[in-house]
Amino acid sequence: MSEPVEPPPVEPPPVEQEAVERDPWALSLVVRVERDPAPAHTDVLVAAARAVVLLLADERVTDPDGELHAAVAAWRAGHIRKITRRARGVRFERTAAVAHVEARSGDAVVRAFAPHPRDTVPEVLRTLQVGGLDLADPEGFAVPAARADLLTVRLSPGVAMTTGKAAAQVGHAAQLAWEELPAAATRRWAAAGLGVRVLTGAPVLAPADRVDVRDGGFTEVAPGTLTASAGFEPPD
């Protein structure tokens, strides 16, 4: 009988990756939600998507010496997590003390903040409510027509998500589009103002022309669920 063959040793993960996962980083999105008028669900999603890309394109991030460059680099070295928080009135205004970018759509205002370790969230953000943000669109709410210089984010039909969860997903889709789609397309998008439209529907672009988001399964949906796709759809 032949001697049993020992399996090859399993290499441990790099120390840096272990550190990232022991203390995961997250990017905070803060939605302004006043009682009257409350923002429309889709406007929040559009503003969230734009806020994420505006942050990534900000000189404080792109410049190696920029004040936010190191934080974004550390966040991107691990799992890309986003947390949606909400605030109104003075509590929202106080968040202006932390470096951020802001995007608007309709009555929706969303701020994106530099990523931070889970256990060292800035105090002004840490006390804001996470979860439970679930808005609706008014009757007759219209989504703009497709354009080649307008990013289309499609939420997967049949995947139920609150507004807060969906905001994180469209933010991730916009990030992947910015980072992975052809440079010619993203330059055209940037020149047109980084506009975004969000709707629910199955992807219409070929896999090579879009990016897909599969959720990590930390909240609301099962791991690996296809939650959103994004790309530059031609005019209808």
pLDDT of residue 120: 87
Helix (H, G, I), strand (E, B) or coil at 101: strand
pLDDT of residue 93: 96
**Residue 78 — very low, low, confident or very high, per pLDDT cuts 50/70/90?**
confident
List CB contacts of 70: < 8 A, sequence separation 6 or more: none
Under 8 Å between Cβ of 133 and 31: yes
* Model pLDDT, residue 37: 87
Q: How far apart are CA 120 and CA 23, in angstroms?
A: 9
User: What letter represents residue 86's amino acid?
Assistant: R
Residue 188, CB-side half-sphere exposure with 13 Å CA sphere: 13
Q: What is the pTM of this model?
A: 0.88
Q: Is the pLDDT of residue 1 over 80?
A: no
> What is the amino acid identity at position 2?
S
d(CA 118, CA 215): 19
Confidence of residue 118 (pLDDT cuts 50, 70, 90): confident
What is residue 207's DSSP assignment?
G
pLDDT score recorded for residue 36: 85
pLDDT > 70 in the chain, percent: 89
Residue 21 predicted with pLDDT over 80? no
Between CA 40 and CA 201 the distance in angstroms is: 19
